[in-house]
């Protein structure tokens, strides 16, 4: 079965929308992954974001990054090998609605202080695309309200929508305390947009085999998260994926960017039923966790963060930790 690629050039055309929505939904039901072709996010914007990411990860010293760890607002820097799985990747997190970063500069490494408007603009374009995809899911599922999923994902609700820049660093020697670049997992939220500079990600195919995710110029890789899969009554699929040293060796660098969209924290996840005779879903298991109907998106997000990072986030303090404190933590 070939990896799905969906052309969305005419997604806004009412005469084409249903057909495109069905293609997106079929890919999401079988693979949980798809590539978007002819999407509306300018390639120049994507390139500019990668240029900033490259400067930050490769040119800035660790001392200019580590004192600003990820806080409770999901803003800040996470160094490589710092999570419970010891994944060999570093990341920079940008959460919040437009203007939130500019009003929280103390939470950001100084490098980013002059780029908050540019980041907000890129995030907004990602969010607009997410909203179109959420409408497609509702249309393909024949829900009475085409905005059923979308209206729970308003950009100005909560801080669940996060742009994360990710760097898999090149090293002269493989780390001794890790066995992977990114551990096998499924995403926890609703929809993820992944921008790639090169291949390296593997996904679990419908047959259960691990296969390379394509990396095509000008395309966006899309995958669904467990919250949406659970909410849809498993009519949509969240798929495990990973990055290993076999696909990204220790001496090779890889940059990517992921925009993670989540519903508002107070959104209650009650699995949809496809018909009156459909057996209601009583639980959903993913990433070692079991969730049940009635859990909120915020509660589920906290469970996920605790399972991956323990207690990694810093309080929303106005001053960064000193380098000494950061290294001792």
Query: pLDDT of the chain along its 329 residues, tens only?
Result: 799 999 999 999 999 999 999 999 999 999 999 999 999 999 999 999 999 999 999 999 999 999 999 998 999 999 998 887 789 999 999 999 899 999 999 999 999 999 999 999 999 999 999 999 999 999 999 999 999 999 999 876 666 689 999 999 999 998 876 678 999 999 999 999 999 999 999 999 999 999 999 999 999 999 999 999 999 999 999 999 999 999 999 999 999 999 999 999 999 999 998 655 567 788 898 888 888 999 999 899 888 878 766 654 444 444 333 332 232 22
% residues pLDDT > 90 (the chain) = 75
- Provide the pLDDT for residue 157: 65
CATH class of 5-328: mainly beta
- Say which DSSP state 284 is in: E
Decide if 190 contacts 265 (C-beta within 8 A): no
Beta-carbon contacts of 174 under 8 Å, excluding residues fewer than 6 positions away, are 245, 250
C-beta neighbour count of 153 within 10 angstroms: 25
How far, in Å, CA of 235 to CA of 182, rounded? 27
The CA-based angle 310-107-201, given to 5 degrees, is 55
Decide if 77 contacts 66 (C-beta within 8 A): yes
- Provide the pLDDT for residue 155: 74
C-beta neighbour count of 98 within 10 angstroms: 16
């Amino acid at each position: 079965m070939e990896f799905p690629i969906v052309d969305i050039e005419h997604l806004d055309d009412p005469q084409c929308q249903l057909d495109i929505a069905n293609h997106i939904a079929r890919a999401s039901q079988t693979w949980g992954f798809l590539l978007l072709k002819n999407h509306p996010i300018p390639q120049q914007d994507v390139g500019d974001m990668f240029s900033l990411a490259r400067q930050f990860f490769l040119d800035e010293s660790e001392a200019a990054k580590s004192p600003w760890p990820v806080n409770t607002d999901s803003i800040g820097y996470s160094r490589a090998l710092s999570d419970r799985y010891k994944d060999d990747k570093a990341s920079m997190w940008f959460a919040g609605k437009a203007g939130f970063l500019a009003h929280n500069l103390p939470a950001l490494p100084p490098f980013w202080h002059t780029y908050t408007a540019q980041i907000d603009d890129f995030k907004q374009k990602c969010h607009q695309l997410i909203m179109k995809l959420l409408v497609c899911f509702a249309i393909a599922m024949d829900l009475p309200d085409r905005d059923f999923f979308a209206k729970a994902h308003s950009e100005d609700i909560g801080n669940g929508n996060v742009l994360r820049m990710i760097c898999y660093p090149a090293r002269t020697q493989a780390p001794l305390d890790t066995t992977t670049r990114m551990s096998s997992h499924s995403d926890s939220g609703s929809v993820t947009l992944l921008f790639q500079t090169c291949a390296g990600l593997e996904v679990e195919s419908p047959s259960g085999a691990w296969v390379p995710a394509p990396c095509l110029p000008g395309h966006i890789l899309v995958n669904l998260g467990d919250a949406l899969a659970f909410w849809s009554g498993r009519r949509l699929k969240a798929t495990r994926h990973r990055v290993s040293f076999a696909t990204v060796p220790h001496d090779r660098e890889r940059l990517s960017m992921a925009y993670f969209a989540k519903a508002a924290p107070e959104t209650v996840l009650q699995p949809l039923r496809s018909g009156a005779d459909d057996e209601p879903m009583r639980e959903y298991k993913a990433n070692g966790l079991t969730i049940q109907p009635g859990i909120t998106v915020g509660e589920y997000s906290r469970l996920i963060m605790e399972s991956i990072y323990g207690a990694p986030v810093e309080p929303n303090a106005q001053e960064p930790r000193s380098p000494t404190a950061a290294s001792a933590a």
